Every structure is written in C-alpha cells, then in structure tokens.
Structure 1
Amino acid sequence: MISDVAGIARVARYYAEIWDTTEDVLSSETLHCIRHAGGATIGAFDGDALVGATTGLFCPDGSVYSMIAAARQGTGHALKLAQKDWAVELGAKSMRWTYDPLVSRNARFNLVKLGAIAIEYAVDFYGPMRDGVNDGDESDRLTAQWDLTGSREPHESVPAGEVTKTAPDGEPLARTDGERIWCRVPRDVVRVRKESRDLARQWREAVREVFVDAFAQGYVATSMSREGWYQLVRQEEVSQ
C-alpha cells in the first residue's frame, strides 16, 4: 500500500497521465483523505516504475468500493487481487466499481477474468467529463459487483435467437432467445471516438437502450465474448 506523501503524489500524477488530463483525476489531498478514512491506494511496480494503481474505500455495509484503477497491460489482474486481499482482510465480502459499458476489454476483464457481474446501468454517471479519454462522450457506467467469498465460472455462449435491434454499423446489436439477451459493443470504442464522435454517440445511445430495458426486467450482465457481445441473464439465475 502507498501512504507516504511522495508516493501518493506520484499516484495522483499517474492517474492524470492515464486519463490524459492536466486536471486532477484524484488529487493528492483526496487520496490522503481516503487513506485517513480507512481506504487504501495500492501500487504495482516494475522495478522503480509505477505501472498500476488502484484506490478503494471500505463502505458502511461491509463492502469495498473501488474508486479507480489503472494498470499497464499484464498487471491489472495482480493489482486487483492485491486489492481483494486488502478487502478480505478487513472483512469485506464483496467489491463494487463502475466502468464504461462500451469498453469491451474492460468488460471482459471484469466479467470473465475476475468473475464479477454487472448489476446496474447508470446514465451519464459523472456528468460531463473533460479528460482526454472521455471528453465529448456521456459518462454512462455499469456497476460491477465482485463476490470475494468464492469464484464464478462465466458461461460464454454464442449469440442466438431473434435480432431485436440493429447497431449503428448496420450489424445486429441485440439478440434474444426468449431467456437470455446478448448485446454487442464496438471492439474498440476509443478508436470509434477518435474517428467519429457522432458514431460513438449513436453506439452509446443504442447500447444504453438495450441495457436500461433489460435491467428494468431483472437482468444482469454475466459475460463478455472476445467478439464484443455481452450476455445478460435473469438475476435469479446467477449463482456466485
């Protein structure tokens, strides 16, 4: 864990670099307050180089809320497991965090690699964001919930059944077999944003419509395929 003044300042700079902004993502002062309140910032290092960091808070309900995480490819899993160890030592049984539903690689990491499920869709969660990653896009977020007491083996299936919605690229966006729902997102939304903000907005609105409707019916997201398809099932069918 990182708790010294210089280390906390280094993490604050790292977060700003990852989100490509000159503004604070989480300031040093905020990180110190989180630590003082019982939270923790954990770093990943390659020699002396900081290659990942995550900051979390212990919540009144006994869970942990992971406020932010960033890591160089290949270090994210170890970093998340270190955060899990810290949470379990405090007695936490679950951990929550949010992520952009359009970023398929993050969805696959959260739902498949870790075995979390997505339980909530929040429209424009943060309001306008001005960093280099999110600028110009609405900040919709999925809430991931990770059971720390056991493990879940995600079941990946091929999208099947009726096409219910068409994506902005003209290909199927959503399918259902009457029980499960599949929803497709761009393979690389960061590239889509750079090439066409209008197209990125269309994807945002299309995916939002599918998720908001599905979650209202009691669905949760349990998996993400390599091809960019979320799988959603009814919450009572999920065993963790």
Structure 2
Amino acid sequence: MPHTAPPPDSRARDDAAIPDELAESAVTGAERDAREAADRAQITIVEARDESAARLIAEVGARVWGPRGTLAPNELRALMHAGDPVHLALDRSQPGRDVVGFAVGFVGWSPLLHVHSHQVGVVDGHRRRGVGYALKLAQRHTCLSHGITDMRWTFDPLVRRNASFNLGALGAHAAAFHVDFYGAMDDAINEGDASDRLEAVWALARPLPSRPSAAPAIRGELVPLLVERDGRPQPTGADPSAGAMLAIPADYETLRRQDPSSGRAWRAAVREVLRAAYASGLRVGRVTDTGYQLVAGDDA
C-alpha cells in the first residue's frame, strides 16, 4: 500500500497546545538541558552532516551492535542530506576527541508529525557517564527547534535498565506493545531473540523529570502476574489489571546469553502478559526494582 502524505496541518494538534512564547521557552530550556547534560558527560555533541561523519557512525555502530546491526554509510548520508537529526558525541576528556556515541533519527508522520529515534549507541567503556542521556537531550533540542514536539522509539521490555532510562529519566511513556517488531534480528546483541518492543512516546516540550533510579517496589499492594522460580517465570493466573505487577529479570541481557532457555521462557511469558494488557487498555506505567506496574491507558 503506498504511503499517503500527511495533511498540511498534521502537527496542528501539538502546536495548537503550545503558545508561541511557551514554544520559545521550551526551545531555550531544551538547549540548556542538552548543554548541561553534555558538560556533565564531558562530551561535545555535533550534528553530523557529511560523508566522513556517516562513516564514523557506521564504524561506531559496528562496535556496538556488530557489522549487521547498524545503518550503512550511504543510508546515513541520505538521512543527513534530508536534514534528519543525526548527532555525534565527541569525548572532551581525551585529546583526540574520539567519537564515543551517536544518535540517528528521522521524521515520521504516523500518527502525527514526530521524530523516530531509531538508534542511540554508546561505545563500551563510555557507558554510565551520561552520554546516551545527553544524546537524547540533543535530539530533543533539535526537534523542538524545528517545531516537532513528539519523539518516538522502541525498546525491549525485558531490558530493565533501558526501561528505567526511557520511562524514568526521560519521562516518556510506553504507548504500545509490538510483538516481534523487527522480525528476526542478526546483530551481535539481539541475534537469536525475538524482537518484541514497547513503543516510547516522549512529549518533548514538557519539563524533564528529575533523574530517578528505578522506583522502589511496592510490596504487599500490587497483584503479581509473574513470579520467578528457579530463574524462570511462573504465571500466577491473575488477569492483568491497573496496579498489577509484571516482574522482569534483573539482567535479561546476561540471562539470555548464559541461559538461553530461561531467556526464551521470560520472553514468551512477558509477551503474553503485555499483549493481554495492551489489548485491554492497560499500559506499562512506572518501573520498579522488580519490573513494571501496569496502569490504565489514560494514566500512562
């Protein structure tokens, strides 16, 4: 089916909600947030605009995901030429100012005008210093500078650290669940695993939350949907409901590498819960130290 161009007023819903003076304030605040995050991470973030930058991103992407896990230089160059948000993170702490991370996004219009943040990669050895956070904030500033107020991307619901970052540190919400979103994947991180994904939606003009760690688990008041027994998930038989608790492994990435059978069991069990939850109007809400709390869709 051919793509249909969006109507000229496709972003009116968001722009109408943001007066000009507030929009200007949001852009100014986003620029400050991005600059401060880059300073904390000791990096300089630049927009990538030429063929040499495309090659650098492809090389860094291959270091993160392997040679089959990132875009080719010609594809990256095309995105840059079209004006899509593509950023490089340069390490200020080293004389060579090596590239330690990148972010690649592109403009989309379904269901409304937004940027899809396709890939954010940080070189091993430079993680946990705020590089990824600073790159996301640079994307946010670029989007708001062009009048785009929504950003979207997908993430693996079983990787708790990513969920905590996306939903907690950034303040996005998990708007949808997609079963095997990318189909079979063959990159160095995800090879052999199903590509179930939650879709994050980030309202960019809103102030950033404080940067929390995963919220502490509420014990004794949430209905558990899965419990862990001998490293594997055990359904409790409870139906998904607002306030119910969905457990996920503390470190799924290590689990699937060391015990693929248990990894597949968790994938299947979490898939069934999330599929039922989203079909009934529930959403993943906050991230706790054991998993997710489900909430009604309007509260997500």
Query: 103-112 or 45-54: which moved more?
Result: 45-54
* 1:216 Cα deviation after fit: 0.8
Q: Please give the per-residue CA displacement for 1:105-162, whole angstroms capped at 9, x wherever unaligned.
A: 0000000000101111111111111111111111111100111121475894515333
Deviates more, 1:37-46 or 1:88-97: 37-46
2:175 equivalent to 1:119: yes
Quote how far apart the aligned CAs of 1:37 are: 2.4
TM-score (norm 1): 0.90
1:26 aligns with 2:71: yes
Which among 190, 204, 207 is matched to residue 134 of structure 1? 190
Q: Count matched residues.
A: 236
Tell me if the contact between 1:163 and 1:176 (Cα under 8 Å) persists in the aligned partners.
Answer: no
- The code of the aligned residue for 1:142 comes to L
- The match for 1:73 among 118, 128, 132 is 128
Distance in 1 between residues matched to 2:98 and 2:234, nearest whole Å: 43
2:11 alignment counterpart: none
Q: Deviations over 1:140-190 (max 9, x none)?
A: 111001111214758945153333333462577677895312211111111
CA RMSD of aligned residues (A): 2.3
Of 121-130 and 55-64, more deviation after overlay is shown by 55-64
Q: Give the aligned residue type for 2:256.
A: R
**Identical positions, percent:** 33
Read off the aligned partner of 1:66 and give its amino acid letter.
S
Alpha-carbon distance between aligned partners in 2 of 1:58 and 1:4, rounded to the nearest angstrom: 19
Q: How do 1:139-178 and structure 2 match up within 5 A?
A: 139-151=195-207, 156=215, 158-159=218-219, 160-167=221-228, 169=231
- State which structure, 1 or 2, has the greater radius of gyration over its C-alpha atoms: 2
Task: Classify the secondary structure of the residue corresponding to 2:225.
Answer: strand
Contact 1:96 1:146 in 2 (8 A): yes
Cα distance between partner residues in 2 of 1:100 and 1:59 = 21
Aligned AA (1:231):
Q
SS in 2 for 1:105: helix
| Whole-angstrom distance in 2 between the partners of 1:152 and 1:220 | 21
State the 1:24 CA deviation. 5.3
Is the contact between residue 161 and residue 177 of structure 1 (CA under 8 Å) also seen in structure 2?
no
Q: 2:282 aligns with which of 219, 222, 225?
A: 219
Specify every segment of 5 or more residues in structure 2 that has no aligned partner in the other structure, as ranges: 1-46
Structure 1 gap segments, 5+ residues each: none
Amino acid at match of 2:58: A
Say whether residues 1:7 and 2:48 are aligned partners.
Answer: no
Which is worse superposed, 192-201 or 54-63? 54-63
Deviations 1:1-27 (A, max 9, x none): 0112111101011111101x2335111
- Identify which of 178, 199, 203 aligns with 2:266: 203
Q: Match of 2:200, SS? A: strand
Aligned ranges 1:184-199 → 2 under 5 Å: 184-199=247-262
Instruction: For 1:66-105, list aligned pairs within 5 A.
Output: 66-71=117-122, 72-74=127-129, 75-105=131-161
TM-superposed deviation, 1:98: 0.4
1:109 and 1:189 mapped to 2: Cα distance?
15
What SS does the aligned partner of 2:166 have? helix
Tell me the distance in 2 between the aligned counterparts of 1:173 and 1:107. 22
